[in-house]
Amino acid sequence: MTARGIHARVWCRFEGFTLDVDLQLPGTGLTALFGHSGCGKTTLLRCVAGLQAWEGGLTVNGDAWQTATEIRPVHQRPLAYVFQETRLFPHLSVRRNLTYGYRRIPKAERDIGFDQAVQWLGLSPLLDRMPAKLSGGERQRVAIARALLTSPRLLLMDEPLSALDQGSKQEILPYLEALRDRLAIPILYVSHSAAEVARLADHIVMMDRGRVVAEGPLQETLARTDQPLALGDDAGVVLDAVIDQRDDHWHLCRAEFPGGHLWLRAEDWLTIGAPVRLQVLARDVSIALDQHTDQSIQNLVPAMVNDIAPELSPGTAMVRLLAGPTPFLARLTNRAIHTLPLSAGQYVWMQVKSVAIVD
């Protein structure tokens, strides 16, 4: 067992299904627990927190939180939990909600200061309000700050955005991104939204019926052909790129990634040298054997067919391609693969119909 990282061997029977996972997760960065509702991702989070009884062992960065013989109670685990329903104390003002956990940890362990958390989440105008007088987005920001103020060694977040409307989601996401980059502690983030995961995660654990179906660094794992069915229509890859050209005449800019480049619509903040995280969905990629310029798709990327895997839905296949070292996925019909024909090792042109900037 390594000192850094989270090792969780969790077995628990809960409401008619069994959670059975053995995970070795990184000790920093944001790990998304991803899957359909009922797959056990929230239960796993509750087990880690100690809110649910289970068997097995849990070590967080060298500290044993639970062993076969010793179960540390929730209030003695140096974690913080952000709940979907925020769970602010209705009888306490925002300020006293924030200091609830803060006052309960020893002064020497307060790595995150009160003013710091208030500033990070933009809460100074709200401090003297009661929770009932806050909007959904404000409430969730208070809940996040309240959690951070315990200076946790592990941050658990259970779908913190799912109860919010689109506007509030957009309000919170930048805060979450900033936290992910700022905090040196691991974050376990439960989500069923592929878009959130693509935007926020460094590492992903895909779950189904209480088991882990795939797990690993986000980009590698999303590019695997054997599991993207967990994502359904949202199957696709995420890649980190850098803006290296701007074409103001056509209002475009070019993002370079290892092994190629993609053109995007220019935005003001996409200056040269800016890092961007892009998402290319498998359903938006088609394949041509030659470089066709007599068509509307502008993003043509040379790539090599790496793997062809039959998908679960009949008639379609998932093709994995490599542009240099960077993997892509393309969802094609079996007939297309047969008539082109397409086989592993072949050099082709990817036609990328749409690229989304997720970060």
How far is residue 183's CA from residue 29's CA, in Å, rounded to a whole number? 8
Q: Is 148 in the site for other proteins (CB under 8 A)?
A: no
How far is residue 179's CA from residue 124's CA, in Å, rounded to a whole number? 18
Q: Of the two residues 143 and 231, which places its CB atom closer to other proteins in the complex?
A: 143
Specify the DSSP element, H or E, that contains 278: strand 275-281
Q: Is 214 in the site for other proteins (CB under 8 A)?
A: no
DSSP state of 340: T
Q: Is 95 in the site for other proteins (CB under 8 A)?
A: no
Q: Which of 80, 123, 204, 255 binds other proteins (CB under 8 A)?
A: 80
Q: Which of 66, 150, 168, 219 binds other proteins (CB under 8 A)?
A: 150
Q: Of the two residues 147 and 200, which places its CB atom closer to other proteins in the complex?
A: 147
Q: Are strands 187-191 and 30-34 parallel, antiparallel or unpaired?
A: parallel
Q: Is 130 in the site for other proteins (CB under 8 A)?
A: no
CB burial of 300-323 (b: ≥16 within 10 Å; e: otherwise) equals bbebebbbbeebeeeebbbbbbeb
Of 86-94, 272-280, 325-333, 348-356: span binding other proteins (CB under 8 A): 86-94
Q: Is 85 in the site for other proteins (CB under 8 A)?
A: yes
Subset of residues 331 to 350 that bind other proteins, contact rule: CB under 8 A: none
Size of site (CB under 8 A) for other proteins? 23
Q: Is 90 in the site for other proteins (CB under 8 A)?
A: yes
From the CB of 139, what's the least distance to other proteins, in Å?
13
Q: Where are the alpha helices (DSSP H) in 114-208?
A: 114-120, 136-148, 166-182, 194-200
From the CB of 150, what's the least distance to other proteins, in Å?
6
Q: Where are the alpha helices (DSSP H) in the chain?
A: 41-49, 94-102, 114-120, 136-148, 166-182, 194-200, 218-222, 334-339
How far is residue 73's CA from residue 89's CA, in Å, rounded to a whole number? 21
Q: Which of 73, 273, 314, 345 binds other proteins (CB under 8 A)?
A: 73
How far is residue 163's CA from residue 157's CA, in Å, rounded to a whole number? 13
Q: Of the two residues 78 and 217, which places its CB atom closer to other proteins in the complex?
A: 78
How far is residue 54's CA from residue 14's CA, in Å, rounded to a whole number? 9
Of 57-65, 76-84, 314-322, 342-350: span binding other proteins (CB under 8 A): 76-84
From the CB of 261, what's the least distance to other proteins, in Å?
45
Q: Is the separation of the CB atoms in 52 and 14 below 8 Å?
A: yes
Look-up: residue for tokens 């189904």? 208
Q: Is 79 in the site for other proteins (CB under 8 A)?
A: yes
Q: Is 105 in the site for other proteins (CB under 8 A)?
A: yes
Q: Which of 104, 133, 292, 335 binds other proteins (CB under 8 A)?
A: 104
Q: Is the separation of the CB atoms in 270 and 243 below 8 Å?
A: yes
Q: Of the two residues 75 and 249, which places its CB atom closer to other proteins in the complex?
A: 75
Q: Is 83 in the site for other proteins (CB under 8 A)?
A: yes
Q: Phi first, then psi: what are they for 303, rounded to 5°?
A: -155, 170
164-203 footprint of other proteins as x/- string (CB under 8 A): ----------------------------------------
Q: Of the two residues 101 and 217, which places its CB atom closer to other proteins in the complex?
A: 101
Q: Is 107 in the site for other proteins (CB under 8 A)?
A: no
Q: Is the separation of the CB atoms in 87 and 143 below 8 Å?
A: yes
Q: Is 315 in the site for other proteins (CB under 8 A)?
A: no
Rounded to 5°, angle at Cα 64 from 33 and 187: 30
Interface with other proteins (CB under 8 A):
49, 51, 73-76, 79-81, 83, 85, 87, 89-91, 100-101, 104-105, 146-147, 150, 156
